[in-house]
Amino acid sequence: MATRRTGTTTTAKRSAGAAKSAARRRKPADPAVAWARSLARSRPGLVPFVLDGLAGAYGTPTWARVHDPTSELILTVLAQNSADINAEKAFDALRAAYPRTAADAADPVAGKVNRPGWGGAGIGGGDAPDWLRVEEAPLPELEEVIRPGGLARQKAPRIQSALRTIRAARGDHSLEFLGELPPLEARAWLTAIDGIGKKTASVVLLFAFGMPLMPVDRHVERVSHRIGLIPEKATADDAHDLYLAMVDPTRAHEAHVNLIGHGRKTCHARKPACARCPIAPRCRFVDRRAP
């Protein structure tokens, strides 16, 4: 005699199918969050150990706005693949060539200003350049003005394109509105501009508004790989989001400034000064099995 299929069996199969469908629809785990949790399990307390050690060596930097966000953006573009001190020369040349006031044109380097995390000597104080004049300048002229910064043929059209995009979207060149947006939304707005990546956008938002974003340059990337703060195959672009998951937002500014300073002063590319490094006891460059 054939056995009648029960409703219980049918219901169980439907439930199993629904569970499988739900599993397929479930969003994959955020790789940055997954890494942060894995690091916390395998090397407990590493991130605060690093930040506390660097603070002990270099102090705890205090955030304060030094440049307006548009100046911060253009200065950072000028610094792409160039020394900061050369970017400063190019920015001061912009102020001299396209001044807002006669005073700026007469004395473009009066009262140099600088901020933590910057590798140069500072740029001239006073007003920013007249961004509309910069945007509308003949391209060969602008290239000549910023030539001291290096890579002028690449950066001049990039700067004009960025300024044009901002003005088209906002009606002027001000980026002050970004301070009202959530950090990741503000970063996404900036990275939608051609030639502006996560590092440049994060620099602008961290230093102009104090947003808890982590710019990762070559120094921060090198130090992070050596200590083991980020995976071996992680790129600098990946590291921006890894740090968002790892670092307490209240310490983002401190983390960036001290990691970049550590890379410049101690954890050099060729001959790192490991003997005087405060992170050496837990650094995987010093000991591949460091805890």
Q: What are phi and psi of 113, to 5 degrees?
A: -125, 150
What distance in Å separates the CA atoms of residue 19 and residue 35, rounded to the nearest whole number? 27
Q: Is 217 a catalytic residue?
A: yes
137: tokens are 């300048």
- Choose among 276, 264, 246, 285: nearest CA to 40: 246
Residues 6+ apart with CB under 8 A from 71: 91, 128
> Is residue 199 annotated as part of the catalytic site, yes or no?
yes
Could you give the residue ranges of the DSSP H alpha helices within 114-177? Answer: 131-136, 139-145, 152-170
Q: Could you give the CA distance from residue 205 to residue 207 in angstroms, rounded to a whole number?
A: 6
Up-side HSE of residue 69: CA atoms within 13 Å toward CB? Answer: 23
C-alpha span between 181 and 186 (Å, rounded): 6
228: how many CB neighbours lie within 10 A of its CB? 19
- Number of C-beta neighbours around residue 187 at 10 A: 24
Contacts of 224 (CB under 8 A, 6+ apart): 216, 230, 239, 259
Among 89, 155, 198, 199, the active-site one is 199
- Name the residues annotated as catalytic: 199, 217
